[in-house]
Amino acid sequence: MAFVFPARPQPAVAVSGQQTLFPVNRIYCVGKNYAAHIREMGSEASRDSVCFFLKPADAIVTDGHMPYPPGTGNLHFEGELVIAIGKGGANIPAGEALQHVFGYAAGLDMTRRDLQLAAAKVGHPWDTGKAFDCSAPISPIVPVAECGHFHHGSLKLRVNGELRQDADFSDLIWKNHEVISELSKLYTLQAGDLIFTGTPAGVGPVVAGDRIELSIDRLCKLSVAITPP
C-alpha cells in the first residue's frame, strides 16, 4: 500500500572514509555523567541509576548549521562523545557491550536550558529542553576499527576559538560499556542507535553568529555555526 503522503527521509550520518551512511534509529542520551558538570548544575554525583533521556532521530544536524531555536533565551552547548551502535540486543552484559559498537562520533547535546530547568523545577519531563528540532549536531562516525574504544581520551570544546570544555573520558561516572549494558536492560537496542554519553563541566550559552568547535582525539572535528532563527 502506498503512503498517504511521502515518508520523511531516513536520518543518516556519514561514515568517515567511506561512501556509506549510518542510518539513525533512536538517539539516547546520558545525563549527569561527569561529577564536575553535576556540581555546576547544583547537585551531587551518584551511581544509583543512570539518567537517560531521548531525542528524535531527525534532530541530527550534519551540515554544520544550527538555526537558533524558538522558545528559549538560554541555548547551551554540551560537547559529548557519541557511541554508534552497530549490533542490537537486550540485556547485554557489560563485558560484551563494546562488541555492539559500530563506531564513535563527536556530538552536541544542544539544550534549551531555561526550558529544561523550568520543567525540572515542577517535575515535568525534559523533552522541550532537550528533544527539539536540530538539537543534535554530529560529526561523521569513525568506525571502531580505526579509532578504537574510548576508555580515556580528550574532549575539547571551543566557542569562537575560546576553550570552554576540556575533559578526559576517564572521568565518566558511567563508562561506555556500562551505559550500553544499562540502556539495554530498559530498551532493545538496534543497529543505528546513537548514544550521547554526557557532557563535562563548562557548559554555557551561545547566540546566533557563534561557532562551536568540538575536538575529540581520534575522531572527526565537529564545527557548528549558530545561525539566525
Interacting residue ranges for Mn ion, rule: CB under 5 A? 78, 109, 199
106 Cβ neighbours under 8 A, 6+ residues apart:
79, 80, 81, 82, 138, 139, 155, 214, 215, 216, 219, 220, 221, 222
Give the helix, strand, coil percentages of the chain, each rounded to 5.
20, 35, 45
Say if residues 112 and 203 touch (Cβ distance below 8 Å): no
d(CA 130, CA 75): 10
Closest residue (Cβ) to Mn ion? 109
Total Cβ atoms within 10 A of residue 22: 24
Q: For residue 186, which of 62, 87, 49, 45 has the smallest C-alpha distance?
A: 49
Segment holding 113, helix H or strand E? helix 113-121
